[in-house]
Chain A
Amino acid sequence: GAVVSQHPSRVICKSGTSVKIECRSLDFQATTMFWYRQFPKKSLMLMATSNEGSKATYEQGVEKDKFLINHASLTLSTLTVTSAHPEDSSFYICSARDQLGGLTEAFFGQGTRLTVV
């Protein structure tokens, strides 16, 4: 199946700093990418939908100024956690759908474990 690569797989940062997470579709063009966060033993929570070349659509309760999403190309979307705090520590996962290729399933990155100390 299609491959979505997420980087880094884990990151530790100090409180107040910003962290950028990259999500790349390696063998297909993703017009739309999705960002999720997941707390321990909980399900994935959709944060935002990222469309190439336009502003992301955020889910209710997600601060767009804190979680900056950029989808500058058909193969790359980034999530920047600005002024991170310990409560932002979580597992962040991106996904993409190969809509141009006619596939209906979404493919997920391996996730990024963010720890804010």
Chain B
Amino acid sequence: LAKTTQPISMDSYEGQEVNITCSHNNIATNDYITWYQQFPSQGPRFIIQGYKTKVTNEVASLFIPADRKSSTLSLPRVSLSDTAVYYCLVGAFYGQNFVFGPGTRLSVLP
């Protein structure tokens, strides 16, 4: 399983764009990159998933360079409610379980 490395914590202010980068140097050819958000005492919630280049949905964008050894989750104009832990996971399309790293604790300040 590809190991991931993320910053332990980040601070931001309301209205700013937040970029969280994840390193996954040992990513395999058939691995996808998935990001989850977790609030206290809740299960993780799916944010976005990608394989290469750029993916965008209604809540975030995911940037993946050509070598796929890292990825960046971009949250546009964060609000206080975006304060949470964000996990980057790397895994195959089928069968493989998701192993969580320590995640990034994002604190959005007023």
Contacts and interface: CB of A to CB of B under 8 A. Distances in A.
Contacts, number: 55
Contact of A46 (B32, B94, B97): B97
B100 interface: yes
Nearest to B89: A106
Interface stretch (B41-49, B65-73, B76-84): B41-49
Interface in A32-63: 32, 34, 36, 42-46, 49
A106 B95 CA distance: 11
Given A34-B97, A43-B87, A44-B100, A104 B49 contact: yes
Contact of A95 (B41, B93, B95, B98): B98
A84 B1 CA distance: 32
B42 A111 contact: yes
Interface residues of A, number: 26
A24 to B, nearest CB: 13
B61 interface: no
B43 A111 contact: yes
B107 interface: no
Interface majority SS on B: helix, strand, loop or mixed? Answer: loop
A97 to B, nearest CB: 8
A42 B33 CA distance: 21
B41 A113 contact: yes
Nearest to A107: B46
14 contacts: A6-B43, A32-B95, A43-B87, A43-B103, A44-B44, A44-B100, A46-B97, A46-B99, A46-B100, A94-B43, A104-B32, A105-B49, A106-B34, A111-B42
Interface of A: 1, 4, 6, 32, 34, 36, 42-46, 49, 91, 93-95, 99, 104-111, 113
Interface of B: 32, 34, 36, 41-46, 49, 87, 93-95, 97-103
Given A36-B100, A95-B43, 12 more contacts: A42-B102, A43-B87, A44-B100, A46-B99, A46-B100, A91-B41, A95-B98, A104-B32, A104-B49, A104-B93, A106-B98, A108-B43
